[in-house]
Structures are given as C-alpha cells and as structure tokens.
Amino acid sequence: MADLEDRISESQKMGMQIVKESDDDRLMTLSVGPQHPGSGHFRFIVKLDGDYIVHCDPDPGYVHRGEEKMTEYRNFIQNIPHLERPVIHDSTNITYSYSLAVEELTGIEVPRRGQFIRAIASELNRQVYTLYWLAIYGIFLGHSTMFMWPTGDRELFIDLLEALTGARVTHAFNIPGGVRNDVPDGFKDRCLRQITYYEKRLKEYEDIFYNNPLVRQRTEGVGILTKEDAIRLGVTGSVLRASGVPYDIRKAEPYDVYNEIDFKVQYMKTADSFARAYVPFLDMRESCHILRQLLDKMPEAGEVRAKLQANPRGPPGEAYRRVESGRGALGYYIISDGTPKPYRVKISVGSFRNMLALPHLLVGAKMGDMPVIYWALNYWPVEADR
C-alpha cells in the first residue's frame, strides 16, 4: 500500500495528475496512436476534460526490435549496419558513438583525416535529421509549406552524403578505426556551395515559420519545462538547451576533433515549445559554421581509417562513449569479454529521455497543443524503442 502511495506521489511530482475513478464518466479517453497521423510509431493515452488534457500515459514499444540483444550475436564490425536502423535519418551519429566506444575497447587510433571526415558526415547528417524533424513540426502545426521546403532541401544534403558514403540514408559510414572511404573529388567545393545556399534558405525558414505571428501564438508559453524540471527529468539535447541549460556533448566532452572547433552552444531561456522548436534551428545555423571550419581544417591527404585486424577484439573491459546527436546525448555502453562479439550493449538514446517529459508537459495543456508539445520534444519513436 505504501508502495502505491509512493508511486502516486512520485507521479504527481512528475506532473501526472491522478484521475479518480469517479471522474471517468465526464472524461473522454483518447488513444492517440499508433495509427493517428500525429503520433508516429507511438501511442499515448490521454484523458480529456473538455478541451484540456488531464492525464497522459505514454505507451512506447511498437517498434521494439531488440537491437541491443542482436548485437550480442554479431561481431563488432557486423553490428554497424543494423545499429543504424533505429534512426536512419541520423545514421551517422548513431554509429558514431558506437565506433568511439569500440575504439576505446580495442585501443584503435583513428587517423586525423578520418576524424575530420567523421565529423563532417556527422554534421551533415544532423542537418538531414533536423530538417526532417522541422518538416514534421511544420505539418503538425498545419503549415504545409514548412513541410515541403525542408523536405526538399534535405534532398540536397542527402545527395552530398550519397556522394560521400555511397548510400542515401543508411550510410554505415563510421566504422571502428575511422570511416569506410575517403571523400570524393571536389567534395569540399560542393559542400561549401551547398552550405552557402542553405544559409540563405534558413533565413527564409525563419521568415515564413518562426516569425509567423500564428506560429508564435501557438508555441510561445505552451508546455513550459523549467530548468529544474528539465534537469530532474533528465531530458537532453535541444530540449535541455531550450530550458536554459547550455549543455552540448560536443562542448562538454569533446570527441575526435570537436575541441579544435570554435562554436557556441545554442540555448534559450524561455523554456516553452517555441524555444524547443527554435533551438534545433539555431543548431542548424551553428552547424553550418562548424562545417565550414571542419572543411577548412581537414588535412589534404592521409589515411582515413586505421588498419584493423580481421576480427577486432580487445581485452575484457567496458566502455561508455556518447556523442551529440540530433536528439541529444546518444551513448553506447559496451561490455566486452575479450571475444570479437560484445558481451552486452546498452544504447542510451536522447529520444527516450525526452519522452519522459511528455506527461509532465501535456497535463494541463489543450488538445490543440498536443502536437505542438509532443513533436517539439525532439522524440523519434523508433529510436526510443530500439
């Protein structure tokens, strides 16, 4: 009994409102998802009192694929293609931290040029992901132009990544020890041209979407996640930065070449849905500066990957490395028992942590705010389910 009371008080602390049985006849229970156009592969059960949401119960797990278990049956190299499946729009970043962790386990040194190419691919892929996210955010607000423009501009980045890696979406580009192949001829110029064009487009996005009074009306002051709550709930990435915490893994624990790059951590203090929608946009803009510096500083020639043994393995041990993905900190905790296969892999993703803030924010909001709050959390259901 004490256990139940504890759970109730805990839920109330988390912002969930406990609905009494006797209230149920005047509440409407809605199952939002997984067929709902505004939910993704995800369901949350909301209870409505009039137009207000009084209860929210997230129910992830529709696309659980057992990625963590699957890694135990494959060796370190074989794991790469399937590990990027949970978030194919950000596939370079999800294999990035895996490669870093495996390198730490096996003691492989990545050549300097390889490190730069990794970072470039990672930044390009972050743009691809964020554009896709922004497109869906636009259509969730009913703004169809904001759906089409980012989806179109995303193609240009996909073309760049295709030239770089050979695949449009599922690149399998990062491997322990570096990257799979060198950049093609003329890649640097093409990339710089694309960034110049893209920065112009970002201005247009701001004009048509972020400066639109109706968008501001709908997002500002909606779903406020205070700094304390954000830290307590353990959100990460753009959601954390929108709550006024300037925390970016690229700055906090610089990996590969990020300590040589000069960039600012983008954050806002308003902590509402607008801030959560705007911080990824600021990140995209900052990412352009990062890309210019990376292309500038990249060594002209050199190895892009270390020489590996046939089945890379290291001494028994454990490693935890994380990178800043499009959705926040993306970490891999790998235990190795000395064989070529990992003993246990735990993927810690930003989506799942951000999803935990959903009940906290939705309770008390209006039904019309639901997509605004939900998708601003930068949540990717498939990644959360792994």
Q: Residues in the site for another protein, rule: CB under 8 A? A: 28, 30, 36-38, 51, 138-149, 152, 208-209, 212, 214-215, 217-218, 366-371
Min separation Cβ 367 and another protein, Å:
6
Residue closer to another protein (CB basis): 140 or 255: 140
Min separation Cβ 214 and another protein, Å:
5
From start to end of the chain, where are the E strands? 28-32, 43-49, 52-59, 174-175, 178-179, 317-325, 328-336, 342-348
Min separation Cβ 207 and another protein, Å:
10
Single-letter code of the amino acid located at 362: L
Residue closer to another protein (CB basis): 110 or 370: 370
Question: What is the DSSP secondary-structure string of 225-273?
Answer: --HHHHHHHT--THHHHHTT----HHHHS--TTGGGS--PPP--SS-SH
Cα dist. 310→79, 229, 307, 371 in Å? Answer: 15, 48, 10, 48
Cα dist. 205→131, 251, 269, 330 in Å? Answer: 11, 27, 22, 28
Continuous H helices in 15-111: 67-71, 79-83, 91-106
Residue closer to another protein (CB basis): 72 or 204: 204
Residue closer to another protein (CB basis): 11 or 212: 212
Residue closer to another protein (CB basis): 105 or 370: 370
135: nearest Cα among 118, 36, 127, 303: 127
Min separation Cβ 130 and another protein, Å:
19
With beta carbons less than 8 A apart as the criterion, state whether 52 and 30 touch. Answer: no
Residue closer to another protein (CB basis): 96 or 140: 140
Q: Give the separation between CA 278 and CA 241, rounded to whole angstroms.
A: 10
Residue closer to another protein (CB basis): 152 or 166: 152
Min separation Cβ 139 and another protein, Å:
7
Min separation Cβ 2 and another protein, Å:
37
Min separation Cβ 140 and another protein, Å:
4
Torsion from C-alpha of 79, 85, 86, 88, nearest 10 degrees: 130
Question: Residue 212: is it exposed, middle or buried by C-beta count within 10 angstroms (0-12/13-18/19+)?
Answer: middle
